[in-house]
Structure 1
Amino acid sequence: VAGDNHEPDYVPLLDCTLNSIIKDELRNDEMANQVHRTLNEDLVMLDEFALIKKVWGKVKSIGKSAMNWVKGLFAKIMKKVKVIFEKIKKMGKKIFEATFEFLGITITKVKTTVPKDIQGFVYGMAD
């Protein structure tokens, strides 16, 4: 229970996000740490895609092994992403909530539109 208002604490559906997977892989990557001296500081300041771009900018100067590094990094990331998506598939009605949470998407407003010829059916009104 959080605070005095007795609202339940937020409990995430998953134990990680796409952002955390990418940042963990970069943090643990030997080459990323060798070529990017301020990696730990940038892990805090930059989003995951800006990080990859920044590290890639430094790694690509190494030549052919740079492409192997990128392929290896994405293979490690995708392996973990596939595990998470398997967990999400098993969540039934919470599948969309978990997917958005994993991707870091927050939905604040939803607007629906329905073709005029089926509005009565959708909203339960007879024409």
Structure 2
Amino acid sequence: MMLSEKGFSLIEVLVSLTILSVSVIGITQFFHQANQISAGNNTKLVATNLARMTLERVQTNPESFGFTLTPGTYSSTICKTQACLDLYNVQINNKSYTISIKISQSTDEKNIGIFSTNISVDYGKPKLSTVEGYIKNAKSTN
């Protein structure tokens, strides 16, 4: 008497389920890692755009950040009002960003009435986005 082979054995089913499970876990890990990378890139993009926006605001009105155009490093430590503090410490998408502004001026820059400006946005150790630009001294006669 011969046995008929019409179905799958229990071993074959278990092996196929194991292979399927390993594949699904691998694909899930890939999507999880891709999501983490995407979230990190989004945070860096927000920090970079915040630095660019801050540079534009400083170019337009440096006094709103609590300083006059003199070389130095400025952060929330110079603030005397909450409005000033809010410019240096920003909360976006439940993430804290801390802004620091460094202003310098070489002799050549002084001759043409501009200041070199470096805006740094810290969004977690050791994460930092920076943008560089220039500010024209409105009091310059050149």
TM-score if structure 1 supplies the norm length?
Answer: 0.27
Which of 1 and 2 has greater Rg?
Answer: 2
More strand by share: 2
More helix by share: 1
TM-score if structure 2 supplies the norm length?
Answer: 0.24
Structure scoring higher RCO (CA < 8 A, sep ≥ 6) equals: 1
